[in-house]
Structure formats: structure tokens, C-alpha cells
Amino acid sequence: MSATIAALFQRLTHGVYVIGVGEGEQRNAFTAAWVMQVSFAPLLLALSINTRHSSYRLLKEQRAFSVNVLGKDRLDLAAHFGQSATVDKLRSQSWTAGHTGVPLLRDAIAWFECTLEDERPAGDHALVLGKVIDGKLLDPGAEPLAYRDTGALDGAAALFPDSFETS
Ligand SMILES: Cc1cc2nc3c(=O)[nH]c(=O)nc-3n(C[C@H](O)[C@H](O)[C@H](O)COP(=O)(O)O)c2cc1C
């Protein structure tokens, strides 16, 4: 494990998001930092998801997901949705269902709703492309939370290698 390499990778600037998946009784959401826009036409977002997350199955089944942008002061939500789904993470939160049924958080500063467009394996994760079908700015003046400001919340230092592979 390498705290030095973890600190290096935290200099790649990311926001902090809650990805909502599923519908009906089968809903869940998890914290993600590896999210980006990848196209204007069509409007596409990409995210990287660990295929062992319980959210992954729901994302594949529903073929949709939401991206909820967290505000600067909502480290509590990043920690809450960073837990595993052994607890019902949405029960204590205020949310509405999007067109596809996926949860949209009322405490986000903005959200996007996406339909699953494509998926590629990416090492120990899957790279998922979503077509943006709706979106809303809930708090236009709010600053987004930065991944770097989440410190060791995701425990990533334990997952980085001790050194780089040079060949
Ligand atoms: C700040 C932060 C960023 C994270 N970024 C990602 C990410 O980009 N992709 C991912 O698959 N997991 C990410 N995680 C880990 C998941 O949120 C975590 O494993 C969660 O328990 C998965 O939930 P689930 O099993 O209910 O789907 C992140 C966690 C934190 C705290």
C-alpha cells in the first residue's frame, strides 16, 4: 500500500458524486469520484464502477443511473453513501424518482439522469457510458465538493501499489 501514490492520484481533480441506481424496492446509491463528461452530441457522462459493488447489478438491470453532485459541505453524504449496502442508504435521505425510476437526491446541488449507453471492462472496474436524458441545477451558488477534500474516506491508499510498474 502507498499513501504517497494515493496522495499523488488525489491531485487529479475530481468532484464527489452519489450514483443512484435501481427502481421500486430495488434502489441503491453509492459515492463515486471517477465521473466525467465525455461528449457533447450526444451528451455523455462516463463513470468507473467496481463490478463487485451491489449497485453494479442494479445499474445493469435498470440500464440507467443518476449522478448527484455533492456540495462542498456534504462530506457526511459522501461518507454515508460510501458505506456498503448492508444498510438501506436511501431510507434516511430525501429523494425523488427520475423518469427511469433512479433516485435523485434533494440534498445534491445538481443532478443528471442517464440511460446506460455502453460499458467496457477497465481493470478492476467497469467504464460505464451514460446518455444524459435530464438534469437539474438545485443550488446554482453552491461550490461542489472536491475528491481531494475527502482525505482518506475511501481507503484508497490500501489499494494503490507500493511502486509503479516500469515495463
Ligand atoms: C470519496 C469516495 C469516492 C469513491 N469513488 C468511487 C468510484 O469512483 N467508483 C467506485 O466504484 N467506487 C467508489 N467509491 C467506493 C464506493 O462508494 C463504496 O465501495 C460503496 O460501499 C459501494 O456501495 P454499494 O456496494 O452499495 O454499491 C468511493 C468512495 C468514496 C468514499
Q: How confident is the model at residue 167 (pLDDT cuts 50, 70, 90)?
A: confident
Of ligand 1's listed atoms, the one at least distance from the Cα of 84 is 21
Ligand 1 proximity of 9 Cβ (cutoff 6 Å):
no
Cell of 147: 475528491
Cell of 164: 509503479
Average pLDDT taken over every residue of the chain:
96
Domain boundaries, the chain: 13-147
- pLDDT given for residue 2 in this prediction: 75
Ligand 1 proximity of 2 Cβ (cutoff 6 Å):
no
Place of cell 435498470: 62
Specify the higher pLDDT residue, 117 or 157: 117
pLDDT at 3 over 90: no
**Which residue has its alpha carbon closest to ligand 1 atom 18?**
82
Q: Which superfamily is assigned to 13-147 in CATH?
A: Electron Transport, Fmn-binding Protein; Chain A (2.30.110.10)
Please name which of 127, 90, 126, 84 lies closest in space to residue 107, comparing C-alpha atoms: 90
Q: Output the CA 90–ligand 1 centroid distance in Å.
A: 15
9-41 pLDDT, tens per residue?
999 999 999 999 999 889 999 999 999 999 999
Q: State the pTM of this model.
A: 0.97
Cell of 32: 463515486
Residues 114, 63, 13, 41, Cα dihedral to 10°: -50
Ligand 1 binding pocket mutation candidate from 21, 31, 58, 149 (most atoms within 8 A of CB): 31
- pLDDT given for residue 1 in this prediction: 59
Lowest mean pLDDT segment, chosen from 17-21, 76-80, 82-86, 161-165 = 161-165
Q: Output the CA 20–ligand 1 centroid distance in Å.
A: 12
